[in-house]
Amino acid sequence: MSEELAQLVLEDARDKMDKAVDHAKTEFSHVRTGRANSALLEPLMVDYYGTPTPLRQLAGFSVPDAMLLVVSPYDKGSLGAIEKAISASDLGINPANDGNVIRLAFPPLTEERRKEMVKVVRHKAEEGRVAVRNLRRAARHELDALERDGSISSDELEWIEKDLEKVTHGQVAKIDEMLSHKERELLAV
């Protein structure tokens, strides 16, 4: 029974850490790499007839080549609102509206802009690592409480904390791997 409680704490921490890593991955996908990618538009909200609506619900995306993203609205009446939302975003891309679709031409990133993006990605990676470590700390507090109230022995606590440490290192390693991949992507010309 007591060991089951400790295992539940460990599993809960692992699940939450997985979510933190997934969040970091999502954050990385929103950083522009100089290539057209529909994930850049995923977080955009469009004022659709007075209601903030996710762009992905209003339009389909296609990438005919590496430097062009085409947004095809399901409702042609939403074209202006979509164009306005893209213009107002921090993507730094001017949408070209031809009455049917919106074309987004991605200019190649300058060396300076690439280095800025690497700094942004490193910051996001550090936020992910901090989130994982905070989850480890919270799990440790729960485990310490279990030991204090006599649910687990100090030996069991030591054993489960080693497992928790392995899980934490594994999750941080995943974030570091994603970071190095994104850096390579950003610095590739």
Domains, the chain? 2-30+110-187 (1.10.132.20), 38-105 (3.30.1360.40)
Q: What percent of the chain has pLDDT over 70?
A: 96
pLDDT at 36 over 80: no
Task: Answer whether residue 139 shows pLDDT above 80.
Answer: yes
Reported as a single tens digit per residue, the pLDDT across 118-137 is: 888 999 999 999 999 999 99
pLDDT at 34 over 70: no
pLDDT level of residue 27 (50, 70, 90 thresholds): confident
104 versus 174: the higher-pLDDT residue is 174
Q: Residue 77 carries which DSSP code?
A: G
pTM of the complete model: 0.71
pLDDT digits (tens, 9 = 90+) for 39-65: 778 778 888 888 888 888 888 888 888
Q: What is the mean pLDDT of residues 102-117?
A: 82
State residue 1's pLDDT score.
54
Longest dimension (CA), the chain: 70
Query: What pLDDT, on a 0 to 100 scale, did the predictor assign at position 32?
Result: 67
pLDDT average, residue stretch 2-26: 90
pLDDT, residue 137, reads 96
